[in-house]
A = this chain, B = another copy of it.
């Protein structure tokens, strides 16, 4: 019941090796993306630039680029496909930000303030369509199958997550299914594409596995960070999940250990979404008491080790080392 001391990473972990290997390719991805959103419709241009210029780590397109390199691919297709992956991701981000009416009525909505719900939805749709146009430009039906399947799985996962909202009795299995779908599906597709453009089916399958495992680990760490007060520097707003009634592993774990009084707290704050200003601190106290963060990060470590295994059959190369560093970075950013 006491908190596990966070494991100190044995070395300093960064993504520098990754970005130095793919720097030129990533620039071309960015150029292509910005070129595609140079729409004659100003609002599309504004929102797209806002989303894309706000940067982030570009981890998904980076995975497509480095996976292609890992497989020794020398052509040009990976750039458009990486852009396609990023378009799907930004579309999902925009749609994720749409605020539910029922929540607005509770006066809790703060997200999505710049442009409004409707614009987010429609520009998200525009970005989805850009993703598909880029794939059609590539012209390979397997690529289209991989990314349209990923899109279907993502939307299904998002709906499952919506259905779980406010239900702290959500099972770990259900939660894992949600994050496998909403997050890991695009990670695995992004990586698989590297093997596909290189024309190596066996490697494509291994890369699919690799992407799936680090996608799950990545989301687990994200969900842990949402309850980690000292992580504001990472650019993630702490407490979002709590305020939205989103059920994640730190809560699921803690709820299962909670006293009756603590369960009543979760049911009020997440189930009924009746939250007082001091409730988030109380939530973090309960999570700390049952080591909800430690448990979540331990599970993330497990998926990271599976990701490393998936890479084992690949011959040593700078790309492989960089990909192993992505795995290290995935959990290390939590400390």
- Give CA–CA (A125, B122) in the complex, Å: 11
Q: A132-B132, A156-B39 are in contact. Are A151 and B125 (CB under 8 A)?
A: yes
Contact call B123/A152, Cβ cutoff below 8 A: no
Interface residues of A in 145-176 (CB under 8 A from B): 145, 148-149, 151-152, 154-156, 158-160, 162-163
B162 touches A149 (CB 8 A): no
Chain B residues with CB under 8 Å of A121's CB are 95, 98, 121, 124
B122 close to A155 (CB less than 8 A) = yes
Q: Which residues of B contact A133 (CB under 8 A)?
A: 148-149, 152
Minimum CB distance partner of A140 in chain B: B141
Residue interface bits A128-143, CB-to-B below 8 A is 1, else 0: 1110110110010100
Interface size bucket, A side? 35 or more
Given contacts A132-B132, A151-B125, contact A112 B119 (CB under 8 A): no
Instruction: List, in ascending order, chain B residues with CB within 8 A of A98's CB.
Output: 98, 117-118, 121
For A141, the closest partner residue in chain B by CB is: B139
Neighbouring B residues of A104 by C-beta, 8 Å: 101, 104
Closest to A36 in B: B152
- Structural contact, B163 and A42, CB atoms closer than 8 A: yes
Please name all residues of chain B whose beta carbon is closer than 8 Å to the beta carbon of A141 when the two chains form the complex: 136, 139, 141
Q: Find out whether the CB atom of A159 lies under 8 angstroms from the CB atom of B126.
A: yes
Q: Is the CB of A156 within 8 A of B101?
A: no
Given contacts A123-B159, A148-B136, A163-B43, contact A116 B100 (CB under 8 A): yes
With A98-B98, A159-B43 known to touch, is A132 a contact of B151 (CB < 8 Å)? yes
Question: Which residue in B101, B145, B162 is a CB contact (below 8 Å) of A99?
Answer: B101
Write out the residue numbers on chain B whose beta carbons fall within 8 Å of the beta carbon of A136.
141, 144-145, 148
| A129 touches which of B42, B135, B148 (Cβ 8 Å) | B148
Does any Cβ of B come within 8 Å of A41's Cβ? yes
Interface assignment of A59: CB less than 8 Å from any CB of chain B: no
* Contact partners of A102 in chain B: CB under 8 A: 116
Residues of B within 8 A of A152 (CB): 126, 129-130, 132-133
Bound-state Cα–Cα, A269 to B62, Å:
49
A109 proximal to B (CB < 8 A): yes
Q: When chains A and B are docked, how far (Å) is the Cα of A160 from the Cα of B149?
A: 30
Partner of A100, one of B39, B118, B139: B118
Q: Which 3 A-B pairs have the closest CB atoms?
A: A129-B152, A132-B148, A125-B155
With A98-B98, A121-B121 known, 14 other A-B pairs at CB within 8 A are A43-B159, A99-B117, A100-B116, A100-B118, A118-B162, A125-B155, A126-B159, A129-B148, A129-B154, A130-B152, A132-B151, A133-B148, A133-B149, A133-B152
